[in-house]
Amino acid sequence: MKKKITRLFLLITLEIEIAVLAFWLLHCKDFQEILHVNFGQLTLQLKGETGQDLGVPLLIVRLFHNKLIDGTLLIVKTYFRFWDFLFTGGLFPFLGGFGIMSAGYYFFASTVKRAWQWILFILFLMFPFVELFLYAKVPFLIRIGLFYAVFGFISLLGIKKFLSLQKWGFVILIILVAVFIWWFAITDFHFANLCYQYP
Amino acid sequence: MLDKFIKHKKYLFLFLIIFLGAFLRLYKVPAVPPGLYIDEISDAYNGYEILTKGVDEHGAKYPLWFKAFGEYKMPMFVYTAAGSIALFGRTDFAVRFPALVCGILTLIIFYFLVENLSKFIKQKIPFPPSSLALTSTLILAISPWHIQFSRAGFDATIALPFYLLGLLFSILAYKKKQSFLLTLSFICLALTGYSYNAYRLFVPATFLVIAAIFVIKQKQMLKGIILNAIFFIIMILPMVIFTFTGAGMERFAQTSAFTAYATSSLIEKIIHLPIIFLNNYLSYFSLNFLFNVGDGIGRHQMVGFGPMPYWEFPFLIVGLYVFIKNWKNPFNLIIFALLFAVPFSAAATTPSPHTLRSLLMVIPLTIIVAYGFLWVMDKLLKGKRILIFLGIIALISFEFIFYLHFYYQHYPIINSYDWGAGYEEMVAKTVKYQPEFKHIVVDHNLGIAEIPLYYGFYTGDKLKPQVVLSSWHKPKDWEKGTTLYIRAFYNRNVIPNTIDTVYLPGKNKDIFATFQKL
């Protein structure tokens, strides 16, 4: 019985993820620039910042306003934006998001960590860099496909583990499925902020 | 060893942390942030009127609610501002003084709150409980979120120490089983309700939770609990009644996230409103909000900075992990309850997320970060990885100094217009030129609602210029050269007969106001 319930929920999660992926593919041409790292404006930004440093010792100006600091901050900001609820919550169904959080929790909680688990964990952390840096070289279709492959797989692992360890875990999942369908039916997934839509 | 050391020196450490916190909150106030913003000047003027005439700007005698800009404000800030104006005179520092004091007091109360709460930690922790209180206080002392709101006159800053004191007294009452402490707790909670609008729902909810815990767990105090509950209800009754009046609902109507669906059918509301609420609620936990940009309002944080510094992120994750792992622990449950409850009332409002309305979130988040920090440091020090430890401390220090550099050097320039930079100088120059002119008029673009407040406060009601629309023309019967027209933003080269200009801070010399002789 438990196995059947687990299989059922894995199937539901997978189907929901495929449905949302299809939804994105049908509506979206590419992600907005806010998710892409572009160093083009750093020089202008630095000029603006140093222009406000009237009377500040040159050493301090150079210490705080240089391409290394501003470039690093730009990458960090874009990386954090990628993990924004409003982004991942729109791009990826939160039922899957729950699976990912569950996978993360059990990964940290387990005393023995296998090599493939570490690989998946690193892939997960590194994945946004594909979007951040390779947006001009890798087509949107491949980028979003890769995203769903990595995130989808981890989410299924997390849900499987969650159901195997939590006796009443399926009740939480039923609530999440219901809220997701509700959400999916009436929100526009913040399209305007996230992606360029087809005309 | 560490345990003993901290036990003996904890008050010395606490003193040093409070000293650092006080310095960070007092240094260059009121020059940074520059000028009183619209709500501060409203509180300042009302405080001054209460002090000198016993009425508010609308003539109401010692009111409990202050009408301002089409809504009603809570009374605590205005009355405390009246007190500090009596002490320091009509200055920007006087207006900000109550928030400064409350910001520093918050640190002290926070320390004792965490120390007392730590005693509820049931799991074995790798560090002494006092070090959690000290580390949490240190992190709060250098928290950009708390520093930002402690340096200017925000109602929320006044409310925070009262709320924390309410929690602290209730914990002490629970431990010592003394009704008197519960009375103090409920008084503090009631005062919180009268300090900031966002607590109008949160305070009664907190009271219900505390009362329920006492009724279930401290049955021997039942008589005291009932008496205190009645006392609390009497104290907050005016606020509750006011909340459900038309005037009380105005604030909610102005900021409601559901206004767009006000006229919709019930079914449409049932379908849409929970999703709007859920969206808003989740936005308070978004990394973009917490670390990248905050709520985007220039008064609430610097441009390009979130309310939390980046260095806190890894410790937040570690802290959350340890907290979730031991979620049944009473300590962790209280912190989680606070963290997840705060955005509930804020999520019903727009804009969401909102750094000010969720200021209380800084408390549980700081404790979780401190917990994660101590956990990591313990592992590093036990493993004798001193270099990594020093590297982390160096990174934290660098980010903090980077923040301070932007705060003191760039913020007053970039965000001067979000504050009230320029108004004090404008009023001073008007006073200077006043004897030369028969008529003084001010362009409404300088703030139709706030111009009379700035003139009223800075001149002590001695100068009340006429506010006019930009399309205003001088009446024909006014003699030439007798009118001083104060205009907004215009370049002095464009306007003939300009006699003076007020500039915003910065080398660009952006014009705030020009003085024209008509």
Q: What's the pLDDT tens digit per position in B399-421?
A: 999 999 999 999 999 999 899 99
Residue B347: strand, helix, or coil: coil
Task: Judge whether A12 is closer than 8 Å to chain B, CB to CB.
Answer: no
What is the pLDDT at residue A191? 58
| Average pLDDT for chain B | 92
What sign has the CA pseudo-torsion B137, B141, B147, B153?
A: positive
DSSP B100-151: HHHHHHHHHHHHHHHHHHHTT--S--SS-HHHHHHHHHHHHHT-HHHHHHHT
Q: Report percent pLDDT > 90 for chain B.
A: 75
* Chain-centroid distance, C-alpha A102: 15
Query: What pTM was computed for the model?
Result: 0.93
| Structural contact between residues B237 and B205, judged by C-beta atoms closer than 8 angstroms | no
In this predicted structure, the answer to whether residue B3 has a pLDDT above a threshold of 70 is no
Domain ranges of chain A: 2-39+82-197
| CB–CB contact B286 A85 (8 Å) | yes
Q: Report percent pLDDT > 70 for chain A.
A: 95
Number of A:B CB contacts under 8 A? 62
Please count the structural domains in chain B. Answer: 1
Provide the shortest C-alpha distance from residue B222 to chain A (in Å): 36
Distance CA B125, CA B138 (A): 19
Q: Across the strands, what pairs with B443?
A: B468
Of B275, B287, B508, the CB nearest to A186: B275
Task: Judge whether A77 is closer than 8 Å to chain B, CB to CB.
Answer: yes
A35 band by pLDDT with thresholds 50, 70 and 90: confident
Q: Report percent pLDDT > 70 for chain B.
A: 98
Q: How does pLDDT run across B489-515, given as a tens digit for each residue? A: 765 567 788 999 999 988 778 889 999
Domain assignment present for residue B100? The answer is no
CB burial of residue A191 (10 Å; 0-12, 13-18, 19+): middle
SS3 track for B273-317: HHHHHHHHHHHCCCHHHHHHHCCCCCCCCCCCCCCCCCCHHHHHH
Range of the domain at B430: 423-517
SS3 track for chain A: CHHHHHHHHHHHHHHHHHHHHHHHHHHEEEECHHHCCCHHHHHHHHHHHHHCCCCCCHHHHHHHCCHHHHHHHHHHHHHHHHCCHHHHHHHCCHHHHHHHHHHHHHHHHCCCCCHHHHHHHHHHHHCHHHHHHCCCCCCHHHHHHHHHHHHHHHHHHHHHHHHHHCCCHHHHHHHHHHHHHHHHHHCCCCHHHHEEECC
In this predicted structure, the answer to whether residue B231 has a pLDDT above a threshold of 90 is yes
Q: Which residues of A touch B414 (CB under 8 A)?
A: 52
Task: Judge whether A58 is closer than 8 Å to chain B, CB to CB.
Answer: no
- Burial call B112-123: b when 16+ CB within 10 Å, e when fewer: bbbbbbbebbee
Task: Give every CB contact of residue B102 below 8 A, 6+ residues apart in sequence.
Answer: B150, B157, B158, B160, B161
Phi-psi region of A55 (alpha: psi -120 to 50; beta: other; left: phi over 0): left
| Structural contact between residues B105 and B161, judged by C-beta atoms closer than 8 angstroms | yes
What is the pLDDT at residue A172? 87
Of A80, A85, A105, the CB nearest to B324: A105
Tell me the backbone φ, ψ of residue B33, rounded to 5 degrees: -70, 150
CB burial of residue B236 (10 Å; 0-12, 13-18, 19+): buried
CB burial of residue B280 (10 Å; 0-12, 13-18, 19+): buried
pLDDT, average across residues A162-186: 84
A190 band by pLDDT with thresholds 50, 70 and 90: low
Q: Which residues of A touch B278 (CB under 8 A)?
A: 179, 183
More confident residue, B91 or A170: B91
Distance CA B62, CA B75 (A): 10
In this predicted structure, the answer to whether residue A58 has a pLDDT above a threshold of 90 is yes
Helices (H), B1-123: 2-26, 38-53, 76-88, 92-118
In this predicted structure, the answer to whether residue A192 has a pLDDT above a threshold of 60 is no
DSSP B408: I
Tell me the HSE value of B460 on the side-chain side, using a 13 A CA sphere.
7
Which token pair is B149? Answer: 């709101």
What is the pLDDT at residue B35? 94
Q: How does pLDDT run across B306-353, given as a tens digit for each residue? A: 999 999 999 999 999 899 888 888 999 999 999 999 999 889 888 889
Of A53, A80, A84, the CB nearest to B409: A53
Domain assignment present for residue B468? The answer is yes
B124, B129, B132, B138: CA torsion to nearest 10 = -170
CB < 8 Å from A in window 368-407 of B:
402, 405-406
Distance CA B513, CA B446 (A): 8
Q: Which residues of B touch A109 (CB under 8 A)?
A: 325
Q: What is the ipTM of this complex?
A: 0.87
| CB–CB contact B283 A86 (8 Å) | yes
Of the candidate ranges A184-193, B258-267, B321-330, the one whose mean pLDDT is the lowest? A184-193
Provide the shortest C-alpha distance from residue B322 to chain A (in Å): 9
Which token pair is B403? Answer: 């923040």
Of the candidate ranges B26-40, B46-60, B504-518, the one whose mean pLDDT is the lowest? B504-518
Tell me the HSE value of A175 on the side-chain side, using a 13 A CA sphere.
5
| C-alpha distance from residue A165 to each of A14, A103, A151, B328, B347 (Å) | 20, 12, 21, 17, 33
Q: How does pLDDT run across B362-373, given as a tens digit for each residue? A: 999 999 999 999
Q: Which residue has the tokens 């008197």?
A: B180
What is the pLDDT at residue A67? 94
Among candidate residues B139, B140, B416, the one with its CA nearest the CA of residue B303 = B416
| Structural contact between residues B194 and B74, judged by C-beta atoms closer than 8 angstroms | yes
Q: Which residue has the tokens 């804009």?
A: B351
pLDDT, average across residues B64-85: 93
Domain assignment present for residue B471? The answer is yes
Provide the shortest C-alpha distance from residue B277 to chain A (in Å): 11
Q: How does pLDDT run across B273-311, given as a tens digit for each residue? A: 888 888 889 889 989 999 999 999 999 999 889 999 999
Q: Across the strands, what pairs with B514?
A: B487, B501
Please give the residue of chain B at the shortest CA–CA distance from A184. Answer: B275
Domain assignment present for residue B151? The answer is no
| CB–CB contact A86 B286 (8 Å) | yes
Task: Give every CB contact of residue B219 below 8 A, 6+ residues apart in sequence.
Answer: none
| CB–CB contact A52 B413 (8 Å) | yes
B144 band by pLDDT with thresholds 50, 70 and 90: very high
Of A80, A85, A187, the CB nearest to B283: A85
| Structural contact between residues B131 and B158, judged by C-beta atoms closer than 8 angstroms | no
| CB–CB contact A86 B402 (8 Å) | no
Distance CA B462, CA B29 (A): 26
Tell me the backbone φ, ψ of residue B411, rounded to 5 degrees: -55, -45
In this predicted structure, the answer to whether residue B177 has a pLDDT above a threshold of 90 is yes
Domain assignment present for residue B412? The answer is no
